[in-house]
Homo-oligomer: A and B are copies of this chain.
């Protein structure tokens, strides 16, 4: 019931602020006996790490993870796995202005309305820095579901979509945009550069596909696999929309065009299409689970935006500091991590009830 926890039986809790001494996650319910060392987590954090291209924030964080509990001689013991990442490059001086006035599009005003105070340094708890903890926890979740392959990537940036026909899995990690279409990746360089020059930013859409999810994972009615994916993905910073399968396009389809025909297959049915995105009634069908997340453009922009300060007076805020011109890029590993965390939880939950 902790609001900073997620999951039923494979459950993690994160803590930490952008400019505190460290951030971290505690993963509970992990099966015992899994090989786990820091080297299993670090690559995923490196993938999300800031400062690796000119298209992400220049904050330099090594994001070195330490496992403080839950393993013995390189294997999980079934007890809570505490993961800690030190904050190294906190330039709190950049945030004096933020302490005074509320950044439009950020959680500053909402946090203060809720709590009566807030940690203004880098957005405190509301910073996307928190997502490093998710990526670390997600790396543990991946070990729980070796049968599943997860793949997230950008399918649209600044309104410019990839060409599905040009999809190349090998491209995803070969450009700074996690973009499966090399031609689109080239176009996006220009789009992002231009947005930055204009003191602005761009949004994007991330797609995640998981293959190997067995039919039967998931649960009615309020722990539906799609509902929990929706919560997991909408809960990522800057997310504004989530789709499963055809999503909003399904609302424009007809019952005939939207039907996923089934034919006898080797193991279970062979589906003629996957409009459903691999989930029916909240339960996996065995097809790839497909979801998309819409991310708004970064709210921290160099163009001044009218706002108010803590005393209620008008102010104009121009967000200095180091920021991602398109937050969705670094969200890709986070989307994968959240999907892994949901699936690991549902694997164990399914095992609990159905053996």
Contacts and interface: CB of A to CB of B under 8 A. Distances in A.
Contacts of A212: none
Nearest to A313: B264
B353 A252 contact: no
A297 interface: yes
A56 interface: no
Interface in A233-263: 233-235, 237, 239-248, 250-256, 258-263
Contact of A2 (B28, B124, B229): B28
Contacts of A6: 222
Contact of A9 (B31, B285, B352): B352
Contacts of A107: 220, 280-283
Interface stretch (A45-53, A74-82, A163-171, A182-190): A74-82
Interface stretch (A12-20, A57-65, A173-181): A12-20
A204 interface: yes
Name, among A2, A5, A109, A294, the residue most crowded by chain B CB atoms within 10 Å (CB to CB): A2
Given A126-B281, A231-B227, A248-B241, A222 B5 contact: yes
A208 interface: no
Contacts of A13: 2, 5, 13, 26, 28, 80
Contact of A226 (B68, B234, B303, B355): B234
A352 B29 contact: yes
Interface string A252-289: 11111011111110001100100111011111111000
Copies in the complex: 4
Contacts of A118: 72, 77
Interface string A302-337: 010111100011100000000000001000000000
A296 B258 contact: yes
A102 interface: yes
A250 B79 contact: no
Nearest to A82: B15
B69 A17 contact: yes
Given A221-B130, A280-B107, A283-B111, A23 B352 contact: no
Nearest to A284: B110
A24 B228 CA distance: 23
A11 interface: yes
A119 interface: yes
A121 B31 CA distance: 20
30 contacts: A2-B11, A3-B28, A3-B29, A4-B28, A6-B222, A9-B349, A20-B68, A69-B125, A77-B115, A79-B124, A79-B220, A102-B269, A106-B280, A109-B280, A110-B285, A114-B216, A114-B219, A230-B242, A237-B281, A240-B246, A241-B247, A241-B250, A250-B295, A250-B297, A251-B294, A261-B307, A263-B308, A264-B312, A348-B353, A349-B352
Interface pairs A-B: 8 shortest CB-CB: A107-B281, A201-B255, A227-B235, A352-B352, A3-B223, A113-B215, A110-B283, A230-B234
